[in-house]
Structure 1
Amino acid sequence: MTRRVLAAGTVCWRRVPMPDGERIMVLLIHRTKQRDVSFPKGKLDPGESMPQAAVRETLEETGLAVPLGVNLGTVHYELPNGAEKTVQYWAAEVDETAVHVSSFVPNREVEALEWTPLEQARKRLSYRADREILDVFRRLAERDAAETFSVTLLRHAKAEPRGDAYPEDRLRPLSDAGEDQAETLVPTLAAFAPARIMSSNAERCLRTVAPIAHHLRKTVRVREALSQDAWDAGETAELRRTIGKIVRKGKNAILCTHRPVLPDAARELALATGSLLGDYLREAAALPPGGFSVFHLSRKHPGSGILGVETYPLKHVE
């Protein structure tokens, strides 16, 4: 049986003013031992998710704390020992503050960082797989869609069952397993750097986002439009207004809601961005308790449609 090695990385980029206008620069790393030029990446630690590892490895190798943008794809290749390595990459915009506070110094793993003009980076990379990932990012940049924001649709974690103990459905709390799920979600949700956290008024939704809100020191904004009570009552106009406002703001957001609401929320997100409807929306909304889907949109041209969707179902819990 072939052994698989999982890894994650980023294509870090920034806009730099030049005499002839702004230029997109991408970050290449010169690795000490391998004597090659590549992107920041590394193997997952036990229990890590791909997004979590991508952010951690980028920080460790470059000293840059980055949020993840759109997923650029996955590459597979065989290692000298016969194992198959799978690496997933995200675009990661680097702001000037992150550059100025970078803690990078040459070390045993990375001997140099090189900010290279996008149009010159391809010939500097050592590996074909890296060049293919760069090509995906380059196509985004050519569409003026490099700057992105994300909207995360999150189903609440495992809740206590309905019963006489909770005369109002919205008062049902999370189960012990659900509380554990809510804590487990934190590092993966944080990798996408949410600026806003919105939740249904149901206790099980509020408890699901409480750990990530505490971690990021954010206030949870309660939106009745995300509640199952509003959905049951057929009150969908406010959901459309809520989604529309999120798209107009162009900031990373988490929306915690309920299983019946998720398909409508995904559909409204597609309609608000001029996206084609399709099975991908149904699949992104078919989430188990504690699962979530991240929709990536262009910050400059949100009406150009959804750029990508990635789904993270947590393991089933009893």
Structure 2
Amino acid sequence: MSEDLLAAGTVCWRRVPTPAGEQLLVLLIHRTKQRDVSFPKGKLDPGESMPQAAVRETLEETGLRVSLGVMLGTIHYDLNGGSRRKTVQYWAAEVTGAAALASTFTPNGEVQALEWVPAAEARARLSYRADRELYDVFLRLAEHDLLDTCTVTLLRHAKAEPRGADTPEDHLRALTAAGQQQAQILVPILEAFGPKRIRSSTARRCLETVAPLATHLGSRVRATKALSQDFWDAGDLADTRRLMGKIVKQGKNTVICSHRPVLPDLARELVLATGSVPGDYLAAAAALPPAGFSVFHISRTRPGAGILAVETYPLKH
């Protein structure tokens, strides 16, 4: 069998007011050629990541600009009688009122129609069993009021110059040319998760890693010693614990750039701040190569429900 064909998509949702209260609606697409009903999705472009593709395909098929919420899972199915296999990764994605009004969708040769349907009715409309099984994950989150999520992204700084005579102080080490390239590659991938705040260690290599993202988003970087390796080496993590608790309480999508030795403690503080169950997943999420990152999904309104999902990306370029 040849290499998997990779694709990504979203289960778009919104809440609309009704006389009886809010109603949860889910977006279904009616595809023209296939004559089926499914969710927005599509193949990855060359060099594209799964998160980028999910956001781009949603925009191209529906005219809706979204940011990714909690990851729902991955489905697999065979193509051409089993000669190829398709792998599709899905995220929940809230559609704001402004995004819905700004949609540029018109019926076309790929998508004939968009249909917003009550969440309880969407499953029966879907054409494929794999989509229905994936949608069950979405329904379980909705049942427990866990769709409204925020992300905390732990990012290891990009490749930096080694410590030497030119930079005897560790915190002054700059990114290499390869590290600067990694910092640029990170921008569209991290943007897919809708970051609202950027926090960084005070070390130069961390600040340089998030600088392109901050410039692209028009955001400022909140630099703090509590995320630095020097602070971690001193052994007093009280300020770090307070900071991670504050980030969880604020409920805003936040990117945190720090250092390899510090990341496991930052991940553990996320577990403590959300009452999550620790496990092997935590070590895997913190064991990042330069410019690698892990996205932790947490309920915005019920953070005590624990970490809902974690996805890890060792940057490839």
What TM-score, normalized by structure 1, do the two folds share? 0.98
Question: Could you tell me the percent identity over the aligned residues?
Answer: 70
Amino acid at match of 1:236: L
Gapped regions of structure 2 (runs ≥ 5): none
Residue 146 of structure 1 corresponds to 147
Q: How does 1:150-299 map to 2 (within 5 A)?
A: 150-299=151-300
- RMSD (CA atoms): 0.9
Q: Structure 2: how far apart are the matches of 1:3 and 1:294?
A: 26
Cα deviations by residue, 1:26-80 (Å, 9 ceiling, x for unpaired)? 0000001111000000000000000000000000000000000000000000112
Question: Which 10-residue stretch deviates more, 79-88 or 38-47?
Answer: 79-88
Quick one: distance in 2 between partners of 1:47 and 1:147? 30
- Name the CA distance, whole Å, in 1 between partners of 2:12 and 2:216: 24
Verify: 1:31 aligned to 2:31, yes or no.
yes
Q: C-alpha displacement at 1:314, in angstroms?
A: 1.4
State the alpha-carbon separation in 1 of the partners of residues 236 and 94 from structure 2. Answer: 38
- The one-letter code of the counterpart of 1:275 is S
SS at match of 2:154: strand
Paired position in structure 2 for 1:56: 56
Shift of 1:3: 3.5
In the alignment, is residue 66 of structure 1 matched against residue 66 of structure 2?
yes
Q: Counterparts of 1:269 and 1:57 in 2: how far apart (Å)?
A: 31
1:278 CA displacement: 1.3
Following superposition, the deviation at residue 302 of structure 1 comes to: 0.2
Structure 1 contact 31–111 (Cα < 8 Å) conserved: yes
Q: 1: distance between equivalents of 2:316 and 2:90?
A: 23
Consecutive unaligned residues of structure 1, counting only runs of 5 or more, are none
The number of equivalent residue pairs is 316
CA distance in 1: counterparts of 2:289 and 2:123, whole angstroms: 40
User: Whole-Å Cα distance in 2 between the matches of residues 61 and 222 of structure 1?
Assistant: 39
Q: What CA distance in whole angstroms lies between the structure 2 residues aligned with 1:107 and 1:315? A: 34
Q: Take 1:128 and 1:27, find their aligned partners in 2: how far apart are those partners?
A: 17
The CA distance in 2 between the partners of 1:176 and 1:185, in whole Å, is 14
Which structure 1 residue ranges, 4+ long, deviate > 4 Å from structure 2?
Answer: none
User: Is the Cα contact below 8 Å between 1:197 and 1:254 reproduced in 2?
Assistant: yes
Q: Render the CA deviation track for 1:71-112: whole Å, top value 9, x for unaligned.
A: 000000011252100000000001000000001111110010
Q: Distance in 1 between matches of 2:147 and 2:278?
A: 23
Other structure's SS at 1:277 match: coil
Contact map agreement 1:225 1:235 (CA 8 A) in 2: no
3-state SS in 1 of match to 2:283: helix
TM-score using structure 2 length: 0.98
- Aligned equivalents of 1:203 and 1:7: distance in 2? 36
